[in-house]
Amino acid sequence: MKSFFTALTFATAALAAGRTSAPEGCAVVKKSPASGQFGTIQKAVDAGKPCVFVDQGTYTEQVLVPASAEGLVIYGYTADTAGYAGNKVTITGKKSQADGLGNDQTATLRVKAKNFRLYNVNVANTYGKGSQAVALSAYADSGYYGCQFTGYQDTVLSEKGSQLYAGCMIQGATDFIFGQNAMSWFEKTDIRVVAASKGYVTANGRKTTSDKSYYVFNNCDIAAASGQTVAEGAYYLGRPWGVAAQVAFQKTTMSGVINSAGWVVWNKGDERTASVSFGEFQNTGKGSLGTRAKFSKKLDAALKPEAILGGGYTSAGYFDASYIVWEDVWHVDYRLTDELLVKCAFDGCNDRYTCRLFKLHESVALFEPDQLQQQLWIQRIDGAYAYAQFIKYLRPSGFAPAGFSPEQRRLAGMIHRQLASMGGMRHLDSGLDGDTGLMWVTVNAADRTAEVAVPLIESAIIRSKRRRTCDCCAGEFFPVDVEERTLDDAVFHNLLPWGDWITKLWPFPTPADLPRCAVFHDLNVCHECIKRYIASRIEDLGMACCDDILCPSPGCHHILTYNEVMSLADGKTADRYEQLFVQRCLSGNPDFRWCLNPGCGSGQIVDTTRCHSSNAHSAVFAFQSNLFRCYACGFEMCYRHQKAWRAGGSAFCDECTSAQQQDEATEAFLNDHTKQCPRCMVKIIKGRNGCFHMTCSQCRHEFCWLCLADWSKIETWRRDRGQYNVLAHNQGCYFRRTDAHPREVRGDSEADVRHQERRDPWWRRV
Helix (H, G, I), strand (E, B) or coil at 683: strand
* CA–CA separation, 761 and 314 (whole Å): 74
Do residues 380 and 344 touch, judged by C-beta distance below 8 A?
Answer: yes
* CA–CA separation, 554 and 624 (whole Å): 55
* SS3 assignment for 20-57: CCCCCCCEEECCCCCCCCECCHHHHHHCCCCEEEECCE
Find all residues with CB under 8 Å of 288, minimum gap 6, and list them: 252, 253, 254, 258, 280
Q: Please state, in angstroms and as integers, the Cα–Cα distance from residue 643 to each residue in 602, 656, 701, following that order.
A: 16, 9, 21
* CA–CA separation, 251 and 281 (whole Å): 6
Do residues 579 and 569 touch, judged by C-beta distance below 8 A?
Answer: no
* β pairing state of 627-629 and 603-605: unpaired
Nearest one of 157, 267, 258 to 205, comparing CA atoms: 157
Q: Which of 55, 80, 141, 175 is catalytic?
A: 175
* CA–CA separation, 90 and 58 (whole Å): 5
Q: Report CA 365 to chain centroid distance, whole Å.
A: 52
Helix (H, G, I), strand (E, B) or coil at 221: strand
Distinct helix (H) and strand (E) counts, the chain: 18, 40
Half-sphere exposure of 749 (CA within 13 A, CB side): 8
Query: Taking the alpha carbons of 513, 519, 522, 525 in that order, is the dihedral positive or negative?
Result: negative
| CA dihedral of residues 177, 178, 181, 187 (deg, nearest 10) | 10
* CA–CA separation, 679 and 698 (whole Å): 10
* Radius of gyration, CA atoms only, the chain: 36
Nearest one of 601, 587, 602, 546 to 569, comparing CA atoms: 546
Ramachandran area for residue 8 (φ above 0: left; ψ -120 to 50: alpha; else beta): beta
Ramachandran area for residue 470 (φ above 0: left; ψ -120 to 50: alpha; else beta): beta
Helix (H, G, I), strand (E, B) or coil at 507: coil
* CA–CA separation, 300 and 295 (whole Å): 16
- Is 433 labeled as catalytic in the residue annotation? no
* CA–CA separation, 135 and 127 (whole Å): 10
Neighbours of 101 (CB within 10 A): 16
Provide the annotated active-site residues: 175
